[in-house]
Amino acid sequence: MKFPRKQYLLFILIMFCTLPLLFTAHVFAAAPLPPANVSASDGMHSGKIQVTWTGSAGADAYDVFRAEMPVSLGGTITKIGTTFAAVYDDTSVACDNLYYYWVKAKNADGASKYSAYNSGYCMTSATFSLAIAADNTQLSFETGGDADWFWQNTRHYKMQDAAESGDISESQESWIQTTVTGPGMIEFFWKVSSQNNADFLEFYIDDSLADAISGTVHWSQKQFQVLSGTHTFNWRFVKNDQFSGGLDCGWVDSVKWISNIVAQTAVPSDPPATPTGVSATDGEYTDRIRVTWNASANATTYDVYRAASFSSPQTKIGSTTKNFYDDTAAVACGSDASYYYWVKAINSAGASDLFYSDLGYKSCPFIPEVTMAATYEDTEIPADIIDEPLFLDPPESVSATDGVYREKVSITWSQVTGATSYEVYRHSDCCGRRTLIGTTPDTSFDDRDTLSTNVNYYWVKATNQNTTSIYSDYNTGHKLLIPRPPINVAASDGTYVSRIHITWDPYQRTYPVLSCNEVCVGDPVVENVDEYDVYRADWSEGTKTKIGTTSNTWFDDLDIPCDSCSYIYYYWVVAKNIAGSSRYSDHDSGYAYKTLLDPNDVRATDGTIYHCVRVTWSPVSGAVSYNIYRSETFDGVKTKLGSIGPPCCDNTICCTKFLDDTPVCPKIYYYWVQSVDKKGISSCKFLYYDTGFCSGD
């Protein structure tokens, strides 16, 4: 076909102008970048984990992936869903388990690489609802009694919900409680609607009533401080056995636990000291830098500051009541992108100086090798996975001795294939800055440079000339420690005749472990004790006298007189091993069984009855029978002649007389009478006696 000249030139011009547009559209089309800021919820939802992220430009949809453990530890990544929004609710999880999440952005031109991962977990419905109702998901709540407390949103102080007591009847109760480790302060708001001065909403600290309200009381705040140790806070709605009033229930809302507050009787006059021991993690996390420090006395809160260099302006990044802070806003990663951190302690009198600092950084995300579910086809292998260096597994079966040696802690582990040496690390808590204490080609190491009063955490890394493994799981260890005083010392109160039974428990040292998300508790370290010394005194401030030594956790004090008076004794226990002796334990008082008084007017006939001696006495209150004894001399062997009591005489006057028809006349005999109580226990003493004899040959 031939075109006229003008039409041909026009066609060429149109094609020339159109091709760049088509070429441009093809060249600049591309798959989106990986989503940023992936975050999985930590216990904030019941029955699900919510995953959120920042959307990627040009993305049409997002694929969400999950694993049950880090890939470096054997986890398998599986696609669990696709969404068009930058949020995904994972409802196919077992609550209280930890899961790891990745997200890919995709469009018609392909999919991005995997995002950085983030871990999350959900909570069970009951735990979640009570924690949400109390506005505190950091505390764990229990409920019980005749009906459980529950979440509701009809009556509340704040956050549109509160915990309400269960539906109970007369003479019943409904309670909710939580347990904390002091020192610190508990704050909460409460409200009650009940029969005035009859049904109460009560608050207990360690089973001791701290406060109670009754009638119609609107929302009011309460604050209580507690000292060091474990404490249980219990809110209890209790009804009496008559009637009802109001709505017949109580409410609790806005529960706040402020730890590291030392109970005191006066407002501090001086600001707290500058926190010492400031430590920032060096690459332990990919999503945060954890800053820890030693608590300052009388501090109520701590402000955390950050700077890009030591001389740069210090910027406040957060406040906390704990002695650690997670900086999740630090953007850069890797050891070349470190930050400086300072901590300021604060109370009502002012704030400390910013003095101690530490340098920390977060590691860059690990892009794992992916094993996909059979239902999802993905042949992409990220380039940075191909370029990864040789990989070493972390050592397993790390074990540190617990008090086996006085002079060292011995650490052992299993051999790692490909490793030529091992690095051993130590720290006094799980998430502090780990200190390299030695390198060895063997699978054991002796730590001699540690105090005999410390329990430490140990990690091991495998290494060769190409690479170093991640940290192993930790294990705690310690030298043989001088024992601490035994706990729970208890002396029996009137349980045994002429004996007081003392029991106790060895002290268990439990050390806090800072996990990735919260403060949890490490394994208890039971004291190594060879034996215990038991001490006694006549009163709590009296002179302590050692009365025995035992390797058991109990001791019987047999040096107790059998008496009708309950003499009270005080007991202490000292734990010992070859490293030394503990201080005295807390004391406990105890006493032996209180026996009845014996008749003090025993009378025996003197030759008035042929071939017999009659013994009489006055009745003793509480006695159900009497035992009669005879001896030929005052200090001789006492022989029991018999007993007098029901049903023979039905507690009449005949119960207080006994006829001895076995004497040899006219020999003189000594007679005693002992009272016997309803438990069948008589006294151990022979205080009151009389002599008697019979007439005849």
3.90.1150.10, 2.30.110.10, 3.10.129.10, 2.60.120.260: CATH of 125-259: 2.60.120.260
Task: Look at residue 152 in the predicted model and tell me its pLDDT.
Answer: 78
Task: Look at residue 12 in the predicted model and tell me its pLDDT.
Answer: 38
Task: Look at residue 23 in the predicted model and tell me its pLDDT.
Answer: 40
User: What CATH fold (topology level) applies to the domain 487-590?
Assistant: Immunoglobulin-like (2.60.40)
Q: Identify the sign of the CA torsion 394, 397, 402, 406.
A: negative
C-alpha span between 568 and 511 (Å, rounded): 37
Residues forming CATH 2.60.40.10 domain(s) in the chain: 36-117, 279-360, 391-477, 487-590, 603-695
pLDDT < 70: residue spans in the chain: 1-29, 42-46, 70-74, 95-97, 123-129, 158-160, 242-245, 261-267, 335, 365-390, 429-433, 452-453, 509-526, 564, 646-654
2.60.40.10, 3.90.1150.10, 1.20.1090.10, 2.70.70.10: CATH of 391-477: 2.60.40.10
CATH number, span 36-117: 2.60.40.10
CATH number, span 603-695: 2.60.40.10
Task: Look at residue 525 in the predicted model and tell me its pLDDT.
Answer: 59
Q: Which residues pair with 444 in a beta bridge?
A: 412
On whether the pTM is more than 0.75, the answer is: no
Question: How wide is the angle at C-alpha 460 spanned by C-alphas 457 and 462, nearest 5°?
Answer: 170
- Give the alpha-carbon dihedral of 379, 382, 388, 392, to 10 degrees: -50
Q: b/e for 348-360, b at 16 or more Cβ within 10 A?
A: eeebbeeebbbbb
Task: Look at residue 17 in the predicted model and tell me its pLDDT.
Answer: 44
Of 45, 55, 38, which is closest to residue 89 (Cα–Cα)?
45
Q: Name residue, tokens 């470190």.
A: 338
2.60.40.10, 3.90.1150.10, 3.90.950.20, 3.30.470.10: CATH of 279-360: 2.60.40.10
Residues contacting residue 367 through CB under 8 Å, at least 6 positions apart: 113, 114, 382, 384, 385
